[in-house]
Structure 1
Amino acid sequence: MKLSFTKMQGCANDYIYLDCRESGVPENIAALSQDLSRRHFSIGADGIICICAPVTAGADGRMRIFNADGSEAQMCGNGVRCVAEWLYTHGTAKETLVVDTGSGPKTITRKGRQLWQVEMGGYSAMAAALPAVNMGEGPLVDCPLTVEGRTWRVACISVGNPHCVTVVDDVDSLKLEDIGPAFEKHPNFPERINTEFVQVVDSTHLKMRVWERGSGETWACGTGTCATVAALTELGVCPAGEDVHVQLRGGELIIRVLPGKKLLMTGSAVTVCEGVTEV
């Protein structure tokens, strides 16, 4: 069977996008995501994002995201910008779009060519929102977490999906392939966790690397970048109400914490190619 796809990336967080608005999500989507995401052997990606018909009145589309291991995630900040760009270039040429996600509808506004700003909604540091266990009810800010014998100071933030943020002196020297899986599968996080390792350059400039549950290290993570700025705002490092520039392996995202602990994210959304593959 032939399958049409679009390959897109936001800060090098790359996914295979499928138009499922009429056909629905393929029954074998988990296996497809595992197979097509394999780098060097297939299209290669961090996973598959299905663009579906909206479920909320007035929305323009719906996003479902499947990681490279086949598991489904609630939300992807870089992915939702790409969904907006895809809709914009495939017949929904509106300057502001609403996309349904697993963590609720997101409003995305076009700020320029291949540039979109997402209203990400609020964040929470409470244990029940992640969920997290054995760490108290929260807020889980500046908490100890022992991972394979080493104790880290972490902030746990939900932005519709769960994140664990820790500050390090030199993010480039970390061997994420060694420590990432232990964070992801830590027993305190029953639904697994995305983990961000962040180096503070100054109060409005950060460097970050991320280990995503189900995908491993990716070159960017929109929700993770939001969680990182939220965590450092809670810690008093970053100022609320100002743009914070976060340098990722794949590019830069700009995050602002708004009143009510709401988050605004601005970043690129780029089409790499369109094609057909045998499945």
Structure 2
Amino acid sequence: MQLRFSKMHGIGNDFVVLDCRQREFALDAAQIRALADRHAGVGFDQLLSVEPARDPSCAFYYGIWNADGSPSGQCGNGVRCVAAWLHRAGALALGDDVRVESPSGPVTVSVLGPNEVTVDMGEPVFEPARIPFVAVGTADHYAIDVAGEMLDIGAVSMGNPHAVAMVDDLADPVLQVLGPRLTNHERFPESANAGFVQQLDRSHLRLRVHERGAGWTLACGTGACAAMAVLHRRGAVDDSVAVELPGGTLRIDWAGPGHPLWMTGPAAFAFEGEWPAPGNTA
């Protein structure tokens, strides 16, 4: 297997991007895990494949696979990297609004500059059955027992399921236990991305996310969208919010129900390579 790839990242959330516009994506879960290995492989949080669109209203399709080989429905930092990759490949002009198709449906992207992409992520989905989430309680606050701790969470889908919990201290060691347990909680039948958010004011949040299939990451674009959406629904934040993650900051804009949510942030190229590398027979 000889693959040409681009290594990219969106504020530290890192990706391997494969050009599958002229060839079929053919990696299985074991090969994805081998490529994701940060010691013997290339290393990434998610693998992205750029493919011909299935939906005729879209210009391209992008597939998403987690580091453990499992598929994902959406990736906010990933779609920005896909847009930047397409722009560099000459397939997406600067400033153009272009529809691209994710596993969870179309989104609109626009490359604003050399290192800035904005994405229409659609409208957040709060209906429990569509997340999916086994709801007990009100739509804005759900009580959930996680490893013996009672958490007050919001639940939302941004093309993938999210649990959002408010905390006072993002450095609290208990989060190392709560993150994986919340991700794999039985009330999320397809598991969830677990976001822990600290509110600084009405326009500034700090966030850590434990991602399903990837673990703790430096950044999670859909997690930033989910955190803003949950707090906006509660009336706790304004329509434009800066979300600070360990790897950097994203801007999230949402005017509320009936409006799409927009995410804006950077996408960066790290290097190009081949797998296996010359002399590597793994």
Q: Who is 2:279 aligned against?
A: none
Quote the Cα distance in structure 1 between the aligned partners of 2:72 and 2:247.
Answer: 21
Q: Who is 2:43 aligned against?
A: 44
Shift of 1:261: 4.5
Deviations 1:14-60 (A, max 9, x none): 0111111121111x332222111111222111021111111122422
- Cα RMSD, aligned residues only: 1.4
Deviations 1:230-259 (A, max 9, x none): 00111221023xx20010011100001134
Residues 242 and 250 in structure 2, CA contact (< 8 A), matched pair in contact too: yes
Quote the Cα distance in structure 1 between the aligned partners of 2:130 and 2:136.
Answer: 13
Identity among equivalent pairs (%): 39
Q: Who is 1:148 aligned against?
A: 147
Quote the Cα distance in structure 1 between the aligned partners of 2:57 and 2:133.
Answer: 34
Quote the Cα distance in structure 2 between the aligned partners of 1:251 and 1:121.
Answer: 23
Q: Who is 1:250 aligned against?
A: 247
Q: Who is 1:66 aligned against?
A: 65
Q: Secondary structure at the match of 2:171?
A: helix
Residues 64 and 101 in structure 1, CA contact (< 8 A), matched pair in contact too: yes
Residues 176 and 217 in structure 1, CA contact (< 8 A), matched pair in contact too: no
Residues 12 and 218 in structure 2, CA contact (< 8 A), matched pair in contact too: yes
Does 2:12 correspond to 1:20?
no
Q: TM-score, normalised by structure 2?
A: 0.93
Q: Who is 1:119 aligned against?
A: 120
Tell me which amino acid in the other structure corresponds to 1:168.
Answer: V
Gaps of 5+ in 2: 277-281
Cα 1:112–1:232, aligned 2, differ >3 Å: closer, same or farther?
same
Cα 1:93–1:127, aligned 2, differ >3 Å: closer, same or farther?
closer
Provide the aligned length of Structure 1 versus Structure 2: 274
Tell me which amino acid in the other structure corresponds to 2:187.
Answer: N
Quote the Cα distance in structure 1 between the aligned partners of 2:2 and 2:223.
Answer: 34
Does 2:123 correspond to 1:87?
no
Does 2:5 correspond to 1:8?
no
Q: Secondary structure at the match of 1:39?
A: coil
Residues 252 and 264 in structure 2, CA contact (< 8 A), matched pair in contact too: yes
Cα 1:176–1:38, aligned 2, differ >3 Å: closer, same or farther?
farther
Quote the Cα distance in structure 1 between the aligned partners of 2:111 and 2:99.
Answer: 12
Residues 59 and 99 in structure 2, CA contact (< 8 A), matched pair in contact too: yes
Quote the Cα distance in structure 2 between the aligned partners of 1:205 and 1:29.
Answer: 40
Question: Aligned runs of 1:131-142 on 2, under 5 Å?
Answer: 131-135=132-136, 139=139, 141-142=140-141
Of the structure 1 ranges 56-65 and 195-204, higher mean CA displacement relative to structure 2 is found in: 56-65
